[in-house]
Amino acid sequence: MAEEISITFDEQNKIRVLDAEKYRETEQLKIESMDFIKKVLALDEVVQNLNETLEEYSKKIEIEKLRAIGERNKVETEQENRKKKLMELSNILNERKAELDRYQIELDSLQKVEQDQRILIEKLSNNDA
């Protein structure tokens, strides 16, 4: 039938139904199980800390990516603005050169008129004398 049940007393004078060897093995298994549970809980805590750290880093990375995109856009905008400014300055320079050419032509024309008038005045002065 069933195995014989042996009732024994342990070192603390407690009644035990299991024999001493099986009881020690059970206690050892209990201790090992508790150690394993502690290790699993510690691992879980480490994993949670790692996840939190990774989340923080991912947020920082996203912020830096957005900042970098913003800076790149600023640089591109600045390049476009500089090109526009350069074109504007080039147009102003060309207008000023054209204006200078007109003034130079006008000066040459006025100098010719002045010279013609001096010649005419000298002729008239010589004819009167």
Distance of alpha carbon 30 from alpha carbon 23, whole angstroms:
10
47 within a domain of the structure (yes/no): yes
Q: Quick check: is 1 in a domain?
A: no
Domain count, the chain: 1
**Structure-model confidence comparison of residues 11 and 80, the more confident one:** 80
Across the range 63-80, mean pLDDT stands at 96
Kindly report the CA angle at 41 between 39 and 42, in degrees rounded to 5?
A: 60
CA dihedral sign, ordered 20, 22, 25, 31: negative
Given pLDDT bands bounded at 50, 70 and 90, which one contains residue 33? Answer: very high
**pLDDT for 1:** 41
Taking the complete model, does pTM exceed 0.85, yes or no? no
Confidence of residue 13 (pLDDT cuts 50, 70, 90): confident
The domain in which residue 34 lies consists of 8-128
**Structure tokens, 57:** 């880093």
Question: Which three-class secondary structure string do you get for the chain?
Answer: CCCCCCCEECCCCCEECCCHHHHHHHHHHHHHHHHHHHHHHHHHHHHHHHHHHHHHHHHHHHHHHHHHHHHHHHHHHHHHHHHHHHHHHHHHHHHHHHHHHHHHHHHHHHHHHHHHHHHHHHHHHHHHC
User: Does residue 48 lie within any of the structural domains?
Assistant: yes
Decide if pLDDT at 4 tops 80.
no
Structure confidence by residue, pLDDT tens digits, 82-100? 999 999 999 999 999 999 9
Q: Is residue 2 in some structural domain?
A: no
pLDDT band per the 50, 70, 90 thresholds, residue 3: low
Dihedral over Cα of 74, 80, 85, 86: its sign: positive
pLDDT of 77:
96
Residue 67 domain-assigned (yes or no):
yes
Residue 38 lies in a domain: yes
pLDDT at position 86 is 97
